[in-house]
C-alpha cells in the first residue's frame, strides 16, 4: 500500500527551468560565456551549484564561486515572483489529504530558494517533512536526501513514490529504492524512462498517474471495475 509521496521542487512542482536558464545566461554572460538550451540541460540542470561553477568557471576560487552562485540565486528570486505550480498539483495534495498520505519535499534547491518558492506558491505547510541537500551528506544524484526523507517519515522505500523531473533526481530516488515517476516538464520523457523512472507524465493531470495512485490506495476496487 502507498503511504507517502515524495516531491522534488524545481521542475516537478513548478517549472522553474526557464527562469534558472535566464539567470544563468545573464550571469555567465559576464564571463563572455554564451549558453543555449542544450548546454543548460547537459551542464547545469539538476546539478548542485558548486559542481556547476567548478565545471564552467574553474578559474574561480571557492569563495568567488560561492559568491557567484549566491548572486545567481538572488537573480533567480528576483525573476521568479510570479511562479505557479504545475497543473493538477493542488488536486494531488488534496487527494493525499483525503487518503491520509504523508508528503515530503526533497530538493537540491538552496535554502533561500526553497523557502522563497514555497512562500510564492503558497504551499509552505503542504509537507510533513522538508529535506534540503544542504542538510544531507550529499545532494542528488546521491540517494542520501531521499534516504533521509524516508527515515524522517518513518516508512520503507516500497511504500513511497517519488516525483522527479531530472535525471539526477530520478537516479537519487531510484538509488534509495523508491518507485519514481518522471515529470517531463524539462526533459524528454524517454530520457526520464532511460534513467530509471517507471512512468513519465507531463503534469499532475495525467490519467495514467491517477489510475496508478488509486490502484495503490484501493487495489480491490480498481480490479473490480
Supply φ then ψ for residue 41, to 5 degrees.
Answer: -70, -35
Cis amide leading into 141 (omega within 30): yes
Q: How far is CA 29 from the centre of its chain?
A: 26
Identified catalytic residue from 8, 142, 165, 206? 8
Identified catalytic residue from 10, 142, 165, 206? 10
Number of neighbours of residue 188 by Cβ within 10 angstroms: 12
- For residues 37, 39, 44, 45, the Cα torsion angle rounded to the nearest 10 degrees is 40
Q: Which cell numbers in the block locate residue 82?
A: 510570479
Q: Check: CB of residue 19 under 8 Å from CB of residue 116.
A: no
Q: How far is CA 70 from CA 19, 24, 36, 49, in A?
A: 15, 12, 22, 9
- Please confirm, yes or no, whether 55 is among the known catalytic residues: no
Q: Which helix (H) or strand (E) holds 41?
A: helix 37-43
**Residue positions annotated with a catalytic role:** 8, 10
Amino acid at each position: 500500500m502507498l503511504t507517502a509521496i515524495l516531491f522534488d521542487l524545481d521542475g516537478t512542482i513548478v517549472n522553474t527551468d526557464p527562469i534558472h536558464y535566464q539567470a544563468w545566461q545573464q550571469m555567465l554572460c559576464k564571463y563572455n560565456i554564451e549558453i543555449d538550451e542544450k548546454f543548460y540541460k547537459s551542464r547545469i540542470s539538476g546539478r548542485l551549484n558548486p559542481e556547476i561553477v567548478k565545471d564552467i568557471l574553474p578559474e574561480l576560487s571557492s569563495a568567488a564561486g560561492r559568491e557567484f552562485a549566491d548572486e545567481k540565486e538572488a537573480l533567480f528570486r528576483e525573476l521568479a515572483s510570479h511562479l505557479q505550480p504545475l497543473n493538477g498539483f493542488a488536486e494531488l495534495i488534496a487527494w493525499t489529504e483525503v487518503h491520509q498520505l504523508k508528503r515530503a519535499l526533497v530538493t537540491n534547491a538552496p535554502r533561500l530558494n526553497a523557502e522563497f518558492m514555497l512562500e510564492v506558491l503558497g504551499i509552505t505547510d503542504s509537507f510533513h517533512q522538508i529535506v534540503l541537500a544542504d542538510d544531507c551528506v550529499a545532494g542528488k544524484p546521491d540517494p542520501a536526501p531521499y534516504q533521509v526523507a524516508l527515515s524522517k517519515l518513518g516508512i520503507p522505500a516500497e511504500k513511497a513514490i517519488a516525483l522527479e523531473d531530472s535525471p539526477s533526481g530520478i537516479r537519487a530516488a531510484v538509488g534509495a529504492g523508491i518507485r519514481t515517476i518522471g515529470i517531463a516538464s524539462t526533459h524528454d520523457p524517454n530520457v526520464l524512462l532511460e534513467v530509471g523512472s517507471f512512468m513519465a507524465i507531463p503534469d499532475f493531470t495525467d490519467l495514467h498517474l491517477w489510475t496508478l495512485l488509486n490502484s495503490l490506495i484501493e487495489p480491490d476496487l480498481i480490479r473490480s471495475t
